[in-house]
Amino acid sequence: AWAGGAVVFGAAGLRGLWAARAGRRHLHHLVEAGAMVYMAAVMAASPAAGSAAHAHGHGTSGPPVLTGALLLYFAGYVLLTGVRLIPGVAVAGGGAGGDGAATAGWGDRPELARACRLAMAIGMLAMLPAM
């Protein structure tokens, strides 16, 4: 199962690499996919893979330098994204609706994308030390 996860997230990483041509905001997806491939590979290579000890988090944790670098990256990303989600000052009458109310679609809501990325980064912060 771990090897299958590495393949799936490797493919997601390739997609993120392809999308990064359009903008650097896609590089974060590449880092997330790479971290998932790394965790799946470490778990697959663990000598306790498949045992009860491994299920309770007593396996290997991979190279500490790489794990630490990923932890620092995701901690910084969580803090930065969390600050960006703090509401700013609303602009009155800026909507396109007839009554002055904003009629934003899902694609026009950048805070939703930020909240999603924040949730993923928090999940990565939980998974990295747990492996």
Q: Which range has the worst mean pLDDT, 13-17, 30-34, 104-108?
A: 104-108
Query: Are residues 35 and 42 in contact, defined by beta-carbon separation less than 8 angstroms?
Result: no
Q: How far apart are CA 106 and CA 96, in angstroms?
A: 15
What's the pTM value of the predicted model, to 2 decimals?
A: 0.70
CA distance 25 to 20: 7
Nearest to 131 by CA among 79, 81, 63: 63
The per-residue pLDDT for 131 is 76
**Which residues have CB under 8 Å from 37's CB, separation 6+?**
6, 9, 10, 13
Q: What is the pLDDT of residues 2-29, one digit of tens each?
A: 888 888 888 888 888 888 888 777 788 8
In angstroms, the CA 76 to CA 81 distance is 8
Q: In this structure, which amino acid lies at residue 71?
A: L
How does the average pLDDT of the chain come out, rounded? 78
